[in-house]
Amino acid sequence: MSASYPSEWPVPVSVAPDKLAQIQADFAREWQRIAAGAQQGTLAKPADRRFAAKSWESNPASLLAAHAYLLSSKAMNQMVDAAQVSEPVRNRLRFSVMQWIEAASPSNFLATNPEVQRMLLETNGQSLRTGIQNLLQDLQKGRLTQTDESRFELGKNVGVTEGSVVFQNAVMQLIQYAPLSAQVHQKPLLIVPPCINKFYILDLQPENSFVRYAVEQGFTVFLISWRNPLASDGDGIDAATWGDYLQHGVLQAVDAARDICGQEQINALGFCVGGTLLASALALARAQGRDPVGALTLLTTLLDFEDTGVLDVFVDELHAQLRERQLGKGGLMAARELGTTFSFLRPSELVWNYVINNYLKGESPLAFDLLFWNADGTNLPGPFFTWYFRNTYLENNLRVPGRVKVDGHALDLGALAMPAYIYGSQEDHIVPWPAAYASTGILRGPLRFVLGASGHIAGVVNPPAKKRRSYWAHDAEYSHADIPGDPQAWLAAATERSGSWWPDWSDWLASHSGGLVRARAKLGSARYAPLEPAPGSYVKVRAV
């Protein structure tokens, strides 16, 4: 990722005359077709879910407006594609134009949405009254409601896998889960979730809990529950650094799991930012002369930040300097700001869809556990966030051996030579799957890469019992030297397999987890006595 392009922005944007003339000609021709269809009454309903209701088709003026909007949107995107600018500037233009296009849809306004108007008449205005109440409630909360949050409670119907907190410090709690099998593998598994979200995305409800599935397969599972710092905390957590999260978060959890299970090495899994933290922590351990993890799993994780997808539009030196002035010495990166940013990566699905349904139609959102989790964000310590932003997204320093130092130790991700299972999601807009694949060029041990269908979350949370989606894999592991350097070459030779990738991962992990031993009835140990039942208290702290 280059950090040089902000100097090009803002820049004059021009389009070559021949390309501009072609876009104008295509627009005029298509407009004539649409206008003729409207006059003759033959204009078909557009293939866009926002205009799928019969009300659009039965209202000629609204139908024409929908077609005009879509045609204008197409022309604007063509202008962006034809603009004579650098690719980084084009990506920013594309993102900005997308925001304007999505906001300007006629479906978003009472005056131009015939479906909303019909509901207003049929309910004698009650739909609008309810919608205004929904809007006022959301204004009080300071965020848009995406699900019926009253239907979920942590520890009651989400995050319910049985276990205990066996250790805690200023940055995390460590949960050990109770066995669900008579025998377990010798080596336990530590799961490191992202600290930018709460861990229970991996433990939603029993039928879609990755944690429960892993426990059922005979693994002794430990999991880090990151603290959600608040402005009212007075213990200095708002000044925690990247190094603090590595030393007192990941590595302390690794040591506790090793001690409790009496193992020299454990296995570890990192998800998203958790994977970046985990790999960095293991590189730090290697720099300290330790090798505490035998097998590594990375789910939708970036180690090489060359390709960061749509998030690249937020990354530049000016933004980094602004955040460093604001938060570099302390303070919090607010969960609300992070959540808004991620929602506007897909504004049609995560913003305007709810504006229409909640406010214009006066509907109540359905109960959906994933969206309940999505609304339960976490704050981040300012120094942690600013370090992460500069050293990963902006400067891509982690992939360069020795460029990053923590407590005087130079990190080298290439020193990690344990077997690694690397997973990417095909439609991931946060960690593009080729970027997840790029970790195969950094890690030095035996490698297994698996590509799952769907996106960043739905691709990962895909339990086998539902028999949904598919994944692509090769039959055998590769060595670092033999795995294809081109992700598309890997995909061309891969086999698509139906269903979830979870059993594939479980079989792989079992082969690196030692023999089976009797499961212990008691959690923790004399040194690490259980403190409270899972999911613990840290995860229940709500960002304000």
Q: What is the pLDDT of residue 4?
A: 37
CATH superfamily of 163-313+392-540: Alpha/Beta hydrolase fold, catalytic domain (3.40.50.1820)
C-alpha to C-alpha distance for 467 and 470, rounded to whole angstroms: 9
Q: What is the pLDDT of residue 10?
A: 56
Q: What angle do CA 98, 104, 107 make, to 5 degrees?
A: 115
Distance of CA 300 to the CA centre of its chain: 8
Task: Say whether pTM exceeds 0.85.
Answer: yes
Neighbours of 256 (CB within 10 A): 22
In b/e form, how buried is each residue of 18-54, taking b as 16+ CB within 10 angstroms? Answer: eeeeebeeeeeeeeeebeeebeeeebeebebebbebe
* Cβ contact 277:195 at 8 Å: yes
Q: What is the dihedral of CA 422, 427, 429, 433, to 10 degrees?
A: 30
Q: What is the pLDDT of residue 1?
A: 37
C-alpha to C-alpha distance for 387 and 245, rounded to whole angstroms: 12
| Crossing angle of helices 60-82 and 87-103, rounded to 10° | 170
Distance of CA 42 to the CA centre of its chain: 43
Element (H, E) at 498: strand 495-498
Among 119, 272, 394, 451, which one carries the catalytic annotation?
272
C-alpha to C-alpha distance for 172 and 509, rounded to whole angstroms: 25
Nearest of 168, 190, 256, 262 to residue 520 by alpha carbon: 262
Q: How far is CA 460 from CA 23, 299, 423, in A?
A: 40, 8, 9
* Every domain of the chain and the residues it spans: 14-122, 163-313+392-540
Nearest of 532, 505, 512 to residue 213 by alpha carbon: 505
C-alpha to C-alpha distance for 473 and 492, rounded to whole angstroms: 10
pLDDT digits (tens, 9 = 90+) for 425-434: 999 999 999 9
C-alpha to C-alpha distance for 46 and 106, rounded to whole angstroms: 13
Q: Which residues of the chain have pLDDT under 50?
A: 1-9
In the sheet where 293-299 sits, what is the strand order? 495-498, 470-473, 447-452, 420-425, 293-299, 266-271, 189-192, 221-226, 172-177, 163-168, 532-533
Q: What is the pLDDT of residue 7?
A: 43
Q: Which amino acid is located at 36 in the chain?
A: A
Q: What is the pLDDT of residue 2?
A: 36
Q: What is the pLDDT of residue 8?
A: 46
Reply yes or no on whether 272 is catalytic. yes
How much helix, strand and coil, in percent to the nearest 5, is found in the chain? 45, 15, 40
Q: What is the pLDDT of residue 542?
A: 94
In b/e form, how buried is each residue of 224-246, taking b as 16+ CB within 10 angstroms? Answer: bbbbbbeeeeeeebbbbbbbbbb
Nearest of 81, 108, 111, 112 to residue 94 by alpha carbon: 81
